[in-house]
Structure 1
Amino acid sequence: MRTTTRIAGASIAAAAALALTVGPAYAADGWVSANLKPVPGSEVAGSGTAQVTVTGNTIKVEMAASGLLPDQPHAAHIHFAAAARHECPTIKDDTSGDGTLNTTEGGPAYGDIVVSLTKTGDTSPKSGLAIDRFSTAPGGTISYERGSIKVSDGVAEAISRGQSVVVVHGVDHNHDGKYSGETKSDLDPKLPTEATDPALCGALHVAPAGGMHTGGGLSGTTNTNGMLLAVGGVALAAAAGSGAFAARRSTRSRG
C-alpha cells in the first residue's frame, strides 16, 4: 500500500511538473480579429476583415479585402514591436509632411513585420517584399487563407494578446492604375513608394468574453465574411471545450 501511495504521489508530482512545463505553450491559444480600414493619406476606398487563430506556435490567417488597386501585387503582413502603439497610424505619423504615409512612418504605430502573408513558401519577415508570392488582388479584391504558419513564442503571445496589426500595402497616389511615380520606396529603392505604402490597416483585437468579435461588414464579400464568422464560432467552442476538460481533470485530481 505504501509503495502504491509513493508511486501515485510521484505520478502527481510528475504531472504537475509537466503542466508547468507545457503551460506557457497553451497560454497563447485563442483567436483575434481585425476590421481593415484605409490608412490616412492612402486615398484607398477599400475595407476588409482579418482573423488569426493561434494554436501554440502555429497560426491560421483568414483575410478578405476589397477596393484595392486591381491586378497588382499587394504585400500583406502581421506587424508587431514591443515599443509600438499596437494600432494603425494616423496622419500625425506623417513625419515628412507630404500628406501620405510610407511603411517606415507607420512603424511607431504598428511595429515591424513579424509574419509575411504570402500565398506560398516562406512566411518570415525575410519575405516581406516577396512580391511574386502575394495576392495580386484580382478585380481589387483579396481572399486569403493560410494555416500551419509557424511563429515564435513571442509573436504567438503578442497576437493572442491583441498587440499585433494587419497591414495591406500598395496604393495608387497618381491614379494611373499601376505602381509608378518618381518617389521611391523607403523599403526598396528599386520600387516606387506606391508599391509599398500602407493601404489598409487593422489592429487585431481579442474577442470579448462571452461573445464574438466580428469586426465590420465587407461589401461584396458576404460569403467570405460568413466563413470568418463561422470559423470564429468554432474556435470559441473549441476553447470552451478545452477549458471544461481542464476543469473536469482538475476536479478529478482533487478528488
Structure 2
Amino acid sequence: ITPQGLLEGAPHAQHIHIGGTNSCPSNDMEGSGANGALQVTDAAGSYGAIAVSLTTEGDTSPDSGLAVDRFPVGNPTYSRTLQVSPEVAQQIAEGDGVVVLHGVDLNGSGTYDGDVMSDLDPSLPEEATDPAACGTLDVASMSMPGGGADTGAGGTADGSSAAFVVGGAALVAAGGAGVIALRRRDAEG
C-alpha cells in the first residue's frame, strides 16, 4: 500500500474488510461524524467487518483492529506477507473485500482531536478512526502465491494456499499498478 495525503506523524489503522456489499461508500455519503464526516459504522454496510488488520508486526487478526502502536505512521509504503485463514483467502480469491485506511485530520489541526468521539473507541477522537481511504480488491490484478509463505509454513490441509501477499504485485494502492483504486473523502465535503 502506498498512501498519499494522510496525516504525517499519526498512526493510520488499515484493514481488509469483508462483508456488507464488499464495496466502498460513495465520496458524497453523509456520515454521523462532525459536520457529516463518515464514521466507520456509517459505511459498515458497504465494506463489512475487519477480516485482517494490516499491522506492521505481530497479530493481524480482527483483534488488532485498534492496535495503533502497530500500524504505519504517516504515509510510508506498506508491504507485508500475511497468513490468513482458508475462509478469508477464499473470500479474497472471489473478489470479496476492500482495504480501508483510517485516520483523518478533519479540522486541519495537525493531530487527531475534536469534540466528537470515535464510534469504535469512545476514548479516541473520531479523527483517529474515521475512514480516510477505501479501495476494492481487484482479483484479476492480484497474484496469489502457491503453497506456504516464504517463512517455511506449509499450505492448508486441503492444499489451498492461505497466504496473502500485501504489497509488491499483489496489493498496491494510490499510484501503483491499479490493484486498489483509492477513493478519498474530502475533509471539507
Sort the TM-score into its range (normalised by shorter chain). Answer: 0.7 to 0.9
**Structure 1: distance between partners of 2:173 and 2:69:** 30
Residue identity matched to 1:114: A
User: Shift of residue 98 of structure 1?
Assistant: 4.2
SS at match of 2:112: coil
Specify the alignment match of 2:80 in structure 1.
146
**Structure 2: distance between partners of 1:174 and 1:97:** 10
**Structure 1: distance between partners of 2:109 and 2:58:** 31
User: Shift of residue 205 of structure 1?
Assistant: 1.2
Q: TM-score, normalised by structure 1?
A: 0.54
Residue identity matched to 2:9: D
Q: TM-score, normalised by structure 2?
A: 0.72
Cα gap change, 1:172/1:216 in structure 2, threshold over 3 Å: closer, same or farther?
A: closer
Pairing of 1:146-225 with structure 2 (within 5 A): 146-147=80-81, 149-207=82-140, 218=175, 225=176
Specify the alignment match of 2:71 in structure 1.
134
- Deviation per CA, 1:86-130: give whole Å up to 9, x if none: 110123463679421101111000000000000011000000000
Q: Does 1:114 align with 2:51?
A: yes
**Structure 1: distance between partners of 2:89 and 2:116:** 36
User: Shift of residue 78 of structure 1?
Assistant: 0.2
SS at match of 2:120: coil
**Structure 2: distance between partners of 1:79 and 1:216:** 15
Confirm or deny: 8 A CA contact 1:206 1:213 kept in the other structure.
no
**Structure 2: distance between partners of 1:89 and 1:67:** 19
SS at match of 2:36: coil
Question: RMSD value over aligned CA atoms?
Answer: 2.5
Cα gap change, 1:194/1:216 in structure 2, threshold over 3 Å: closer, same or farther?
A: closer
Gapped regions of structure 2 (runs ≥ 5): 142-168, 180-189
Aligned length: 151
Specify the alignment match of 2:9 in structure 1.
71
SS at match of 1:66: coil
Gapped regions of structure 1 (runs ≥ 5): 1-62, 219-224, 233-255
Identity %, equivalent residues: 46
SS at match of 1:72: coil
Confirm or deny: 8 A CA contact 2:56 2:70 kept in the other structure.
yes
For 2:38, which of 64, 81, 101 is the aligned residue?
101
Residue identity matched to 2:91: A
Higher normalized strand content (fraction of residues): 1
**Structure 2: distance between partners of 1:213 and 1:146:** 10
Pairing of 1:47-62 with structure 2 (within 5 A): none
Specify the alignment match of 1:85 in structure 2.
21
